[in-house]
Amino acid sequence: MEICEENIKKLAEEKIFLGKNLIEQLDQYKTIPGAQKIQRKINQEIKFLQKVVSTNSIKLNHVMCSNLTHYQFLVKILELQKDVVHIDCGFPVEERNNPLRVDIVCENGLKWIKAIARNSKSLTDAANGRASYGAKSIIDQAEEFIYAANQNLCMFRKPKVVFYFSHEIENEILEDMKEIGVEALSITNQQPLPGDVGVLNDEDNSETDYADVSTLNLDITTMLAYISSLTNGSTNWSFREPILTEQAKRERESPLKPVLDKIFEGKRLICCETAFQSFQDIVNLLAGDMEKQRAKELMERVEIHKDVQEIPNEVSVINVGGKINPRSLKIFAFGITMKALTITSNKGFIRSAKMQGINVPVFIHQARALTESKETTAQRL
């Protein structure tokens, strides 16, 4: 009996050690919403095991039923993903009193992941109705996730739903899940898969995916960048303003105009009245002659539409303040209403929106200011 108790105590100590390692592993994800919440839950599991060990009240069930097994599996899956935006995220669903919890939201919102660490027998029993009353089978959960994904579009698309299993599951269940629209993967044979990019960004190394987007909403920052003297060949300058010198350096290293031209090709270009008027005011005040000419040529390609009168539900909860001003909110809301991808260099807005749990469909590029009139006081390199 004593040997058995000693073995149980040893297993518990191993679990405690595992939990501490998991907290350390999650440190690299601390800036992602939900990561610190998971760390706190793991810490609660650790404290419980430490308590029952210290009071000699440890039982095998305490170790076997510890949620640390689930969190270990969750972290393993997390390390395989790209562009993670939330961990343990709740999504509102019609006819549910509480949000649906998604373990990992990645690929900038276009992929939802559920981690299932239950053994194969319990999954099969539940799928065949051999479970406690009220318990949902994995098929029920799959249907629930698809239903929720249909109500919570990202980039105007339904997020892909993936269930990861720590154990192999029966082919019949796999087929049922496939019919529902859920991809089932086993961690034992899963390789990191390249996915679609949700929040598109020309500054990272991932392959951007905007082929299925037909309409682009141009932000003020994009229109200014497109007509700037910098993006149109005049980069060999050292300006009095350090930020302009830095932009010139970046433009020499990574020209922006070809990137924007590639995105614009074959697309419908639109902007709202607020964006157009602000753009025109800046051009009239700061642009040189060639920049003004390019502005005129650009606006011949862009459709100007009235501002939205109501902020769509997707962004209505965003609080104005800090990096989010009413003008920016109006421009991004216009893009969502028009089902357009907004092209912008306004990282502050996107970052602030993300911190409030909102993913706005955007392509983010580097900023470029109007510089033609500044060249008279700049030093040529």
Range of the domain at 185: 80-195
Could you tell me if 253 and 376 lie in one domain? yes
Sign of the dihedral through C-alpha 206, 207, 212, 214:
positive
Same domain, 170 and 282: no
CB 312, CB 337: distance < 8 Å: yes
Look up residue 30 and give its two tokens: 């601390």
Is 141 within a domain? yes
Cα separation values, 345 from 212, 223, 273, Å: 21, 10, 19
Share of residues in the chain with pLDDT > 70 (%): 83
pTM over 0.95: no
What is the pLDDT at residue 197? 28
Same-domain status, 208 and 275? yes
Helix (H, G, I), strand (E, B) or coil at 100: strand
Is 56 found in the same domain as 160?
A: no
Q: Model confidence at 128, in pLDDT bands (50, 70, 90)?
A: low
Task: Give 140's pLDDT tier (boundaries 50, 70, 90).
Answer: confident
Q: Is residue 75 part of a domain?
A: no
Q: Within this chain, do residues 136 and 267 fall inside the same structural domain, yes or no? A: no
The answer to whether residues 249 and 207 belong to one domain is yes
User: 175 and 217: one domain?
Assistant: no
The answer to whether position 318 is within a domain reads yes
Q: Distance between CA atoms of 170 and 127, rounded to whole angstroms?
A: 10
Which H helix or E strand runs over 373?
none
Cα 103 from Cα 88, distance rounded (Å): 4
What pLDDT score was predicted for residue 125? 61
Rounded Cα gap, residues 13 and 11, in angstroms: 5
Query: What is the number of other CB atoms lying within 10 angstroms of the CB of residue 46?
Result: 20
Question: 247-255: long-range contacts (C-beta < 8 A, 24 or more apart)?
Answer: 247/366, 247/367, 247/368, 247/369, 247/371, 248/371, 250/366, 251/368, 254/366, 255/231
Dihedral sign, Cα of residue 279, residue 282, residue 285, residue 291: negative
- Indicate the residue among 151, 168, 195 that finishes a domain: 195
Task: Let me know: does 375 contact 237? Beta carbons within 8 Å.
Answer: yes
Residues 104 and 187 in one domain: yes
CA distance 231 to 218: 16
Q: Pick from 150, 166, 195: which residue ends a domain?
A: 195
Q: Domain check: are 178 and 160 in the same one?
A: yes
pLDDT tens per residue, range 213-228: 899 999 999 999 999 9
Q: Are residues 321 and 219 in the same domain?
A: yes
- pLDDT tens-digit series, residues 176-221: 888 888 888 876 544 332 222 233 344 432 334 566 689 999 999 9
Over residues 78-82, the mean pLDDT reads 89
Share above pLDDT 90 across residues of the chain, in percent, rounded to a whole number = 47
Highest mean pLDDT (candidates 140-144, 148-152, 179-183, 268-272) = 268-272
Q: Which of 147, 176, 195 represents a domain boundary (last residue)?
A: 195
List the CATH number of the domain containing 309.
Answer: 3.40.50.1010
60/93 same-domain check: no
Please state the three-class secondary structure of 113-165 as a single string.
Answer: EEEECCCHHHHHHHHCCCCCCCCCCHHHHHHHHHHHHHHCCECCECCEEEEEE
Q: Please check whether residues 222 and 152 belong to one and the same domain.
A: no
Residue 144 pLDDT greater than 80, yes or no: yes
Classify residue 272: in a domain, yes or no.
yes
User: What average pLDDT does the structure give for the chain?
Assistant: 83
- Which residue is listed with tokens 């990096």? 323
Strand partners, 184: 163
**pLDDT tens, position by position, 167-177:** 777 777 777 88
Task: Please state the domain count of the chain.
Answer: 3
pLDDT at 133: 42
